[in-house]
Amino acid sequence: MSSENVRPVGAWALRRAVIVALLAVWGWAAASAFGQGDAAVLGLRLFLLGDYDRAFQQFGQALAKDPTRAVAVAGLAAVHLARGETQPALSSFGAAAELAPGQAWPLACLGSAQMQAGDPKAAAASYRQALTSRPEWAAVRARLAYALYCQGLTAAAMDNARTAARYGERTVAPLVQAAVMLRDGDARGALQALGGTGAAVVATAAGPAPALRMASLASALPGLETGLPTSTVLPTPAPGGVRITWPRDGSSISGRVEVQAEFDVPPAYAVVYIDDQFVSVTNASQVRMPWDTRRWPDGVHRVRVDAYDSSGRCVGRQEIQLIVANRERTGDATQAALDAALGVALAEACLPSPPPWDPPLLYAEAARVAGQPEAALDVVEHPFSCWPWHRRLREELHLACRDLGLANPSPAEILVLPRPGQVAVTFDDGPHPRITPWLLSVLAKRRVRATFFLVGQQAVQYPELVRAIVAAGHEVAVHSYTHRNMTRLAQVEIERELAQSRWAIARACGRRPTLFRPPGGHYSADVRAAAAALGFRTVFWNANICRYVARTLNGMIEGLDGDLARGGILLLHNGEDETPLIVEELLDRLRARGCELGPVGELSGVESVYVSAGGRAQVK
């Protein structure tokens, strides 16, 4: 089971579910109003589900039925944007804004495409224009705050983030506020802006990915690696220096117009195409082509100018999109209301969302600066398990362990116990739905406490058994997350196994173990380094049941008892092996000859569990 299987649902998933539910209602209304249903409704529904190919087809059908329908043009643009095709998205969103003048949603879509293109200044202008007609649109105002932050306009970013938060935006606005406060050295204010509790921050960090991700706010903090654009990205010049100067790209035209184009170097001749159909050729130094748009159907059309040299080779090209709108559209209140609702839903879906690691990263940074390393560890351990290759998450995890005094424990390994006659009773694997309750009963009858080295994915599956182990007074420890041979993993993958398992156990019982046993005893320099960095002591054994599996039950008991003649660490299993057949007699024999039985952490005199609850921490 992967960590993604147990992640809480994030804000984007909730927003998407609400939009899909609303579309179900709108889709029913559209089907009633238009008989066969509405292709744009279905297109948006498919887009939200990530089925971009079929969404593109549906938006195309809607556009074929009405070539001047803005929401269909914007739908095609949204698919381009989700596919990373920024230039056609910019052009089509601009066309949609021309087709729906005075409406906020096409401008919000355009701003999102401009952010994707790395132009936060243009995006801020589009978002501002959208807010002039709909100032209460909190999600758009939060993205305006983000665009301003990207330009270093932190005061304006903070003002807009606070306004968005007052309107109820809870996804981007708190992150912008926290990032600005951290820049200004107000770590406690940043924690307050993020909600004050690490659990809530982790909950907002997960969930299905939206169509568009914004650059990380956390990585843009002073002194940290930045993922934000460092300069405005301008459109790539047309090959060969062809520039269509009139009409402008994305504009709405009617009647007779003149297509005008210029060249850096005059070509031998130039050809003009409309929707890939040849319409004109000229050998003049400039293109001046009359176009009677009344002979063309209303809707979106593509105008292309190709420049050729004397050998007939194409040396330059530029293409733009225009909207032909000659017929006066009849007002259909039902269609207009549906399109307005679809447009807002489409714009919401296209708004960039923060990377899922931003909330925990900002929170961990703020908590650490504020002198609350326990809160930093609480919030960063599980996100690191999800994205172990993210350098900043790994750094924050290491720093939190260091600041709590957990990192690099001494001794790094527990190989023997300090006094003769001591026997540490340990069980590897589990929790197991049948064996674990039985073992707890056996131990309770004999008043023996033990250490359970648990497999993380089993702890996720049976959290109630983890709690039962702790409630019975036993120690819990880590035995990896997937029970793999750790020596075959990179160090960062080993750290993930350890962090993910510790998170799973802590999630079940509120305690973070600091003892670890590698599966199979496989131990290398990388395993040792990973364990030390995350604050684990590695526990080995002096008597292992696996050594005697070929013997009779009596032979197993005799062999283990002999290995523990002077005491030591006993390794049994919390699963399907011979342990249930010998454990009672073995414990009785050890107790009868005067051995001191107990958990390994307690007998060795080291801290075995880091307890975190309510933002406060202690080591036990």
Per the CB < 8 A criterion, the answer to whether 99 and 128 are in contact is: no
For 225, 254, 287, 324, 586, the CA distances from 294, given in Å and listed in that order, are: 55, 7, 21, 8, 97
- Quote helix, strand, coil % in the chain, to nearest 5: 50, 15, 30
Known catalytic residue at 428: yes
What's phi and psi for 6, nearest 5 deg?
-115, 15
In this structure, the strands spanning 537-539 and 515-516 are parallel
Count CB neighbours of 74 within 10 A: 32
Among 332, 336, 338, which Cα is nearest to 31's?
338
For 98, 272, 307, 426, the CA distances from 313, given in Å and listed in that order, are: 36, 15, 8, 79
* Distance of alpha carbon 514 from alpha carbon 499, whole angstroms: 11
Residue with token string 């909600």: 195
Retrieve residue 384's tokens. 């690191």
Taking CA 299 as the corner, what is the angle to CA 298 and CA 302, rounded to the nearest 5 degrees?
A: 115
Among 1, 4, 6, 2, which Cα is nearest to 508's?
6
Retrieve residue 139's tokens. 């999600």
In this structure, the strands spanning 568-573 and 422-428 are parallel
Per the CB < 8 A criterion, the answer to whether 145 and 157 are in contact is: yes
Q: Beta partners for 262? A: 243
Residue with token string 């708004």: 351
Count CB neighbours of 197 within 10 A: 16
Catalytic residue among 80, 432, 474, 573: 573
Catalytic residue among 306, 428, 526, 561: 428
The catalytic residue positions are: 428, 573
